[in-house]
Amino acid sequence: MQNSLYFLVKQFFLFFLFIEVFRTIFVIYYWDKLQVATKPLQETLLAYVNAISLDIATASILIVIPWLLLNINILFKSKIIKVILFIYTLGVVVFSTFIYIAELGIYNEWEEKPTFKIFNYLKHPDEAIASNPLILTLILTLILVVVLGFFYTLVKKLFASYDVSAKRDYKLVLFSLFILPLFIFLGARGGWAEIPISQSTVYFSKHKVYNDVAISTVYNFIHSITENQAIINGENPYKITVENEKRESILHELMSIPEGCKRESILTNERPNVVLVIWESLSGDFIKNEKYREVIPNIMKMSEEGILFTNAYSSATLSHEGLPSIFSGWPALAGTYITNLPSKFYKLPFLTQKLKENDYATGFFFGGQLRYGNLTSYMYGNGFDIIEEHSDMKMDSKKEGVLGYHDEYMLEYLLKKSSKSKEPFFNSLFTLSSHSPYDQPMEDVVEWGGSDKGYLNSVYYTDKSIGEFIQSAKKESWYKNTLFIFVADHSHHTPMSWSRADKRWHHIPMLFYGEVIKKEYRGKKIDKIVSQKDIAATLLSQLNISHSEFLWSRDIFCKEYKENAYIMNKNGFGLITKEGSLTYDLKEDRILYKDGNISSLKIKGNIYMQKLLQTYLDY
Q: Average pLDDT of 292-296?
A: 97
| Residue 386 pLDDT greater than 80, yes or no | yes
Look at strands 572-577 and 564-569 and give their pairing: antiparallel
pTM: 0.76
Higher pLDDT, 179 or 160: 160
| Other CB atoms within 10 Å distance of the CB of residue 412 | 17
| Residue 119 pLDDT greater than 70, yes or no | no
| Residue 165 pLDDT greater than 80, yes or no | no
pLDDT band of residue 227 (cuts 50, 70, 90) is low
| Residue 95 pLDDT greater than 80, yes or no | yes
pLDDT by residue (tens digit) across 373-383? 668 778 988 98
Output the pLDDT for position 226.
66
Please report, for residues 325, 346, 378, 397, 430, the alpha-carbon distance to residue 340 in angstroms, rounded to integers and kept in the order given. 14, 11, 9, 32, 19
Collect all residues with Cβ–Cβ distance below 8 Å to 407 and sequence separation of at least 6: 367, 431, 432, 433, 434, 440, 461, 462, 465, 466
Output the pLDDT for position 90.
96
| Alpha helix ranges (H) inside 329-406 | 342-345, 351-356, 375-381
258 phi and psi, to 5 degrees? -55, 145
Please report, for residues 13, 323, 339, 549, the alpha-carbon distance to residue 354 in angstroms, rounded to integers and kept in the order given. 60, 16, 19, 10
| Residue 613 pLDDT greater than 70, yes or no | yes
State the number of CA atoms in the 13 A half-sphere of 523 facing the CB. 3
Q: Rounded to whole angstroms, how far apart are CA atoms 476 and 596?
A: 48
Which of these ranges, 52-66, 151-165, 229-243, 389-403, has the smallest mean pLDDT? 229-243
Output the pLDDT for position 1.
47
Topology of domain 275-555 in CATH is Alkaline Phosphatase, subunit A (3.40.720)
Q: Average pLDDT of 445-472?
A: 97
Which of these ranges, 160-169, 177-186, 353-362, has the smallest mean pLDDT? 160-169
Higher pLDDT, 380 or 124: 380
Output the pLDDT for position 338.
86
Give percent of the chain above pLDDT 90.
Answer: 67
Collect all residues with Cβ–Cβ distance below 8 Å to 574 and sequence separation of at least 6: 501, 503, 506, 566, 567, 568, 581, 582, 583, 584, 593, 605
**Is-contact 371 124, C-beta < 8 A?**
yes
pLDDT by residue (tens digit) across 262-288? 999 999 999 999 999 999 999 999 999
Helix axes 407-420, 453-473, angle to 10 degrees: 20
Q: Rounded to whole angstroms, how far apart are CA atoms 532 and 313?
A: 6
Collect all residues with Cβ–Cβ distance below 8 Å to 188 and sequence separation of at least 6: 57, 60, 61, 64
**Is-contact 429 414, C-beta < 8 A?**
yes
Output the pLDDT for position 128.
61
DSSP per position, 475-510: TSTTGGGEEEEEEESS----TT---TTSGGGGEEEE
**Is-contact 353 550, C-beta < 8 A?**
no
3-state secondary structure string across 190-250: CCCCCCCCCHHHHCCCCCHHHHHHHCCHHHHHHHHHHHCHHHHHCCCCCCCCCCHHHHHHH
pLDDT by residue (tens digit) across 130-159? 666 778 889 999 999 999 999 999 999 998
pLDDT by residue (tens digit) across 463-475? 999 999 999 999 9
Higher pLDDT, 316 or 328: 328
**Is-contact 436 411, C-beta < 8 A?**
no
**Is-contact 164 73, C-beta < 8 A?**
yes
Q: Average pLDDT of 448-467?
A: 97
Q: Rounded to whole angstroms, how far apart are CA atoms 69 and 123?
A: 33
Q: Rounded to whole angstroms, how far apart are CA atoms 90 and 66?
A: 12
| Other CB atoms within 10 Å distance of the CB of residue 574 | 25
User: DSSP secondary-structure letter at 548?
Assistant: T
Please choose, from the candidates 374, 367, 167, 382, the residue with its C-alpha nearest in 3D space to the C-alpha of residue 278.
367
324 phi and psi, to 5 degrees? -65, -30
Output the pLDDT for position 3.
67
Give percent of the chain above pLDDT 70.
Answer: 91
Which of these ranges, 83-97, 101-115, 143-157, 556-570, has the smallest mean pLDDT? 101-115
- What are the boundaries of each domain within the chain? 2-227, 275-555
User: DSSP secondary-structure letter at 32?
Assistant: T
pLDDT by residue (tens digit) across 11-62? 999 999 999 999 999 999 999 999 988 999 999 999 999 999 999 999 999 9
256 phi and psi, to 5 degrees? -65, 155
Can you give the C-alpha Rg of the chain in angstroms? 27
What's the distance, Cα to Cα, between the start and end of the chain in Å? Answer: 55
Please choose, from the candidates 92, 88, 54, the residue with its C-alpha nearest in 3D space to the C-alpha of residue 68.
88
What is the overall mean pLDDT for the chain? 90
Torsion on CA atoms 455, 456, 461, 463, rounded to nearest 10: 120
Q: Rounded to whole angstroms, how far apart are CA atoms 54 and 20?
A: 11
Q: Rounded to whole angstroms, how far apart are CA atoms 111 and 208?
A: 9
pLDDT band of residue 228 (cuts 50, 70, 90) is low
CA 463 to chain centre: 24
**Is-contact 217 114, C-beta < 8 A?**
yes
Q: Rounded to whole angstroms, how far apart are CA atoms 267 and 478?
A: 15
Q: Average pLDDT of 526-547?
A: 97
507 phi and psi, to 5 degrees? -70, 135
Higher pLDDT, 283 or 81: 283
Higher pLDDT, 394 or 109: 394
Higher pLDDT, 488 or 186: 488
Collect all residues with Cβ–Cβ distance below 8 Å to 532 and sequence separation of at least 6: 312, 313, 314, 315, 322, 325, 326, 487, 488, 489, 508, 510
